[in-house]
Structure 1
């Protein structure tokens, strides 16, 4: 019999203190290889796979799916053969910080994360998006409200592994649905969101039935990304004095340029959208006004003007709002910037945004126009100096060259930290962004 070694939950991101076990990928008694993912853990910043630090057998789980584990507390016990196996880790011993632990590379053009791994900690493997088979979900801290619906017949349940993406697993857990009882209709027998919702609804009754009791309110625990977002927004709103200025501008030139660039050969493999030109406008305007890319250091009583523009792109995901950022975006060509924004969006939709992707942002963009909204007053991400909101582009009557014509018009909003940026600087910056979007071709040549 091999030596039993307890593995504590490592710090999966700077400052994180806990993580929720989303799904076990290996059952007790199952064999594991070094660096093989054995559990999915959801933190306040990302959903990550934790790789095994040993070759051997996963002997015991110390938490069930849905349970929250503090960093440094036992997560699993491994049985390792050989006398050279590492000694058991003490329960009160904190494991090293592992920023980006278990994260996949989004593409060859992505920048490598800085910092060497801790010597005692194995390097994380490449992420795999292949579906995994979780055990039955048990949530001791939260019990979803009962749903008055007929159960899915057992005969219709599939046999073998249950295939489902992480957002679908989370939905099933929140609704109290056992994925093993759901009839899959997706590709290769994958359980889809519609399958889970159909399982909750159940078959239609043969005749109308009187509801025995009033429907209960649904209670959703505040945790993970939503909890961190709420804390950050409250901290930002009551720390940085927010000011918002607005600009309505003619962006017909931008919309024409979008069509033109989509037809160019060098942009054949990337997605060209209005957001790409808004991002480029922000980067060029920040070059003209460096103070817009600054940070207020309260402890040192200094204003830190940042060299790199780490451009954040707000993204709505099933896990909540995330704002990953493109590192050193000012150094990227338009093609590289389009590729980086597209990669961030895909990763966010898949629920695979890493803590490293969301750290160090300096200026952000929130595209509310995709929802048909004209503008808004966004709250600054903590530590950032400004956030631009890009509203819907609509055909409107506009005075163009002395005559009224139908033009493509949008409204931009800029919220900024009034400790760093006064009204004049904020207005000049926003005006430059608007000037670029009105005449992107001319301005791109003049400013670059």
Structure 2
């Protein structure tokens, strides 16, 4: 998975040059030349780091940095300035910037600063889950969807075991939250769960991060280092984006799962580890197996227990409770009055397919709440592509409206029995399922 970076500078030529250079280094770089463009990208993209010019034309880079932090407080911001002064650097850091670089930019140095910022994003040691993730009760209160409630029950059952668990689902559906909840309900809940994003590290660094090294293992290894398998002993280890893990590391993971032991880089002795193993992916691992990019034996070792987290478009009945949650969250983080959404906004949210899922919904709500000048969020407060999706712009035609109402009536008359409904409507079950999805009917 490419690392996603946003460059914000009023010099479009500089933005393009930096974006091209970062792309050659394996980044997916996008850019904005003013505040409004930047805020829309922040609301819509799953960013990992931001480069922001302190002098942004008519806009103030420091003010924009504060707005971004209100919307996405966990994204590190690196400030860029042509006016290298201790005072401006200190001011930027005090306002929450991760670091500071000055023009003329030295690209190698800039990459090093960005990589350091990425390491902060993928910090592996997390706080106790009671303070950091939805607990047993709060997770249940954030859904009314039958599929999610069934998932919740399965999580509780698996939490009582030490089986490795593979969590599958699209980007932004909440796979990491599922891992947090699973750990918080397990017998290991009193120890910290450690997390590693496999896509965030080159192969050599990932090997070192997972398994550690002995003193003198390589140039610069002046002391021994414990990898996360050792640090997670008697706790849980969560490996995100496991589909991006190199094959050589997959082989070592498999041996660790089988033998419950690791060997540090440059070491001879094996070290016993007692670790509950959770992994997540948004990829089709069976397809990766066919393409020779994922080990089949590791897949079946992980596949002992699999959890699927459905996309938001399949659980739109959860929109009201999720909206309220993120509105409460924004008010709490910004210590401002809680806002609500207009009926027009809610109808747009129902129509929208949410390709970025829960993460996108959260970012859109935080963005709209930050830019809205009134107590009620209206269409004008939404990012432009959502704003243009007006309730009137996507109304169903008369035939579709009649068909939807007929399906709903028949479902009610059959006590929501889909097989009987399909028979009464003289259509195949697959056709019925397609129409349920088309009209956003969730059972």
Question: TM tier, shorter chain?
Answer: under 0.3
**Structure with the higher strand share, 1 or 2:** 1
**Structure with the higher helix share, 1 or 2:** 2
Larger radius of gyration: 1
TM-score of the pair, normalised by structure 1 = 0.20
TM-score of the pair, normalised by structure 2 = 0.20
